[in-house]
Amino acid sequence: MDNDFSSPFVTRLANIVWWLRNHTLHGLLKRRIVYLGTDAGIEVWASFFLLLSIFAFVLVPASGPIGVLFLVIVVIRLLEIVINALHVTIFYGVVDKKEIASYRRIAILLMFNFIELVFWFAFIYAWISSQFTKFEFSVPLSLLSYSFSTATRVGSPLVAANSSCSIAISLVESGLGLFMIVAVLARFVSYLPRPPERHSA
């Protein structure tokens, strides 16, 4: 465990993230459904929302009451993804003193979260497609391509945001994507064996 976990500043931040995590939708439900707090329950939860994001992107119309309901789900779920990513990649073990049992499992779950994030934002872009120019947003793959490019900063999407709303949402996705990539890399690099130090004669 990192030595800076004993820092009061880190401990305070960890306690805040821990409290937020316990008040996410998953955190509230697992108090009543014990299974959701188990490893298997967490895996089912992550898999369910990944599939739900794909379902929403492919089948849910970007209008009407059903679309509004899914927009509410998007906001709740994105907040949960960010809070969980903070907990797992930065503050895991600070409050509950646990060690990560399987780094491969954590990596897979975070990958699920990242893919889910891309699909949720593609769904959002379908709602505000009129606020973009230079691309045909009626093609589903174009929405997904723009969302992926925004989250990863890979590629050059043939689209331009032409309103404050579309620019703000794109920046939010770009920030979340960058945070998840950097946080995950930083977490796993910290567990690589350190090379022996060389002392000059």
Kindly give the residue spans of alpha helices, DSSP state H, lying in the chain.
Answer: 8-22, 25-29, 39-59, 64-86, 103-127, 140-152, 164-189
Q: What are phi and psi of 144, to 5 degrees?
A: -65, -40
**pLDDT tens digits along 154-179:** 766 656 677 788 889 989 999 999 88
Ramachandran quadrant class, 125 (left: phi over 0; alpha: psi -120 to 50; beta: rest): alpha
Residue 1 has pLDDT above 50, yes or no: no
Share of the chain above pLDDT 70, in %: 80
Instruction: Convert the pLDDT of each residue in 38-64 to its tens digit.
Output: 989 999 999 999 999 999 998 887 677
User: What is the distance between the alpha carbons of residues 153 and 79, in angstroms, rounded to a whole number?
Assistant: 21
Please give, one letter per residue, the 3-state secondary structure of 14-57.
HHHHHHHHHCCHHHHHCCCCHHHHCHHHHHHHHHHHHHHHHHHH
